[in-house]
Amino acid sequence: MILKRAKKILEFQVKAVEGLMKKMDNNFVKAVKIILSCKGRVVLTGMGKPGIIAQKISATFSSTGIPSLFLHPAEAVHGDLGRVTRDDVIVALSDSGETEELIKLIPILKEIGAKIVAISGDPRSTLAKYCNCLLDVGVKKEKGLLGVIPSAATTAMLAMGDTLALILVEQRGLKIEDFAFYHPGGTIGKRLLKVKDIMRKGATHAIVKEKEPVKEVLLKITKARAGSATVVDNKGRLAGIFTDGDLRRKIEIDRDLLGKKVKDVMTKKPVTLREEDLAAEALKILREKKIDEAPVIDKNRKPVGLVDVQDLLKAGIVENT
Pick the CATH number of 195-314 from 1.10.3720.10, 3.40.309.10, 3.10.580.10, 3.90.190.20: 3.10.580.10
> Regarding the domain delimited by 2-174, which CATH topology (the fold level of the hierarchy) does it fall under?
Rossmann fold (3.40.50)
DSSP codes, 98-154: --HHHHHHHHHHHHHT-EEEEEES-TTSHHHHHSSEEEE---SS-SSGGGTS-SHHH
Half-sphere exposure of 173 (CA within 13 A, CB side): 0
Structure confidence by residue, pLDDT tens digits, 44-84: 999 999 999 999 999 999 988 899 999 999 999 888 989 99
Which DSSP helix (H) or strand (E) runs through 59?
A: helix 48-63
DSSP codes, 189-207: HHHT-BHHHH-B-GGGS-E
Nearest residue to 241 via CA among 191, 291, 275, 283: 291
Q: Which residues does residue 230 pair with via DSSP β-bridges, in sequence order?
A: 207, 241
- Separation of alpha carbons 87 and 113, rounded Å: 8
In the prediction, which pLDDT does 199 show?
95
Structure confidence by residue, pLDDT tens digits, 151-170: 788 899 999 999 999 999 99
Q: Dihedral, CA atoms, 131, 135, 140, 142, nearest 10 degrees?
A: -90
This prediction's pTM: 0.67
Residues of the chain with pLDDT > 90, as a percent, come to: 63
At residue 80, what is the residue type?
D
Residue 122 near residue 157 (C-beta atoms within 8 A):
no
Taking all residues of the chain, what is their mean pLDDT, rounded to a whole number?
A: 89
Residues in the chain: 321
Structure confidence by residue, pLDDT tens digits, 248-271: 887 777 777 888 888 988 999 999
Residue spans per domain, the chain: 2-174, 195-314
Nearest residue to 304 via CA among 240, 254, 236: 236
Helix axes 244-251, 214-224, angle to 10 degrees: 140
Structure confidence by residue, pLDDT tens digits, 182-223: 666 666 666 778 899 999 999 999 999 999 998 999 999 999
Mean pLDDT check: name the lowest of 6-10, 169-173, 216-220, 289-293.
6-10
In the prediction, which pLDDT does 146 show?
44
